[in-house]
A and B are shown apart, each in its own frame.
Chain A
Amino acid sequence: MKFDFKELPGHSRDYLRPAVPVRLEGLARAPQLCLLDTGALHNRFAAWTATAAGIDLAGADRERVAIGGFVAIARQAPVQLTLGEVTWEAPVWFCDPWPLAFHLLGQEGFFRWFKVQLRTAAYEIEITPEA
């Protein structure tokens, strides 16, 4: 699967981010833009997505995390994610508050399942499921 880097507008300059659209179960009409974050251990999504998708977080594991300059309460649930034609099940930590423009795909819930090639000079992303 090939994707372009995402162009996002900024004040003094624009941003080019390696982000891809991931469908969360229950939100089929609106794939969520997710940053490929090799530094993140876990998938981290905004908590509103769990509510909108009908994912029950009552009784879920809960932790306090610091992410890129903010602190959030994160609750974990195993969910079904889809990228292109590939669907996999992975834990997602749903975080509140979530001030980022996108969600994060991390090592445990994403990179362990895919081979990811970034060609930053060409603004291209190529993602292949691991065999």
Chain B
Amino acid sequence: MNQVLAKIAQHEFAFDGQEIERRLANVVPDPIGEHFVVVGGRRFPPKQVIGLLTGLDRADFNTHQARRVLSRLGFTVGRRSRESQGASPNRPGPHGGREADLLRAFRGRWVAQRGLEVIVAADTPEAVLQWLERHNQSADAMFRVPGDEAEATGVAPA
């Protein structure tokens, strides 16, 4: 992860990739619109990240500026509409393993899901509920993504 100097809304900023990961470690992502950036295995709206780092109002810059900076820092950026469907006829499951793959990054965490998409993930169920309330969002399902076999099956550990 490198460092990048960028000018946004007439202000110059120095961004550091490791510092961004540290600062976002305890931040719950806002709802994802079309664009996202992956930081620490979680998806954030790019404007949320840049707004948090710079203190700028999100109306002062656009998504493409935010994506460009984060991409130059080495973070993965993407668009939801271009994501591969990814289902494999050779893997078991109603979604050919795609749902399990989407949930894999959230093992051991609480998630709220709409369709197959995780709309929020947090370390406690209370944080997930607070996020849904704060953002006036409703989920299709909420659960803890199992961190080990016992959580998924209910069997006693060996």
Contact = CB atoms under 8 A, between A and B. Distances in A.
B152 A29 contact: no
Interface in A13-64: 14-17, 19, 21, 27-33, 35, 46, 48-49, 52
| Chain B interface extent, by class | 35 or more
Contacts of B152: 8, 10, 15, 17, 101
Interface string A62-96: 00000111100000000000000000000000000
A24 to B, nearest CB: 10
Contacts of A68: 150, 153-156
A100 interface: yes
B117 interface: no
A94 B92 CA distance: 33
B117 to A, nearest CB: 13
Contact of A9 (B138, B146, B154): B146
A29 B156 contact: no
A5 interface: yes
Contact of B126 (A48, A100, A101): A48
B42 interface: no
Chain B interface main SS type:
mixed
Which of B104, B128, B133, B144: most chain A CB closer than 10 A? B144
A102 B151 CA distance: 8
Given A29-B138, A31-B140, A69 B146 contact: no
Interface residues of A, number: 37
A126 to B, nearest CB: 13
B129 interface: yes
B97 A15 contact: no
Contacts of B97: 7, 14
15 contacts: A9-B146, A14-B92, A29-B132, A29-B139, A30-B112, A30-B139, A31-B142, A32-B142, A32-B143, A33-B141, A33-B142, A35-B154, A52-B129, A69-B154, A69-B156
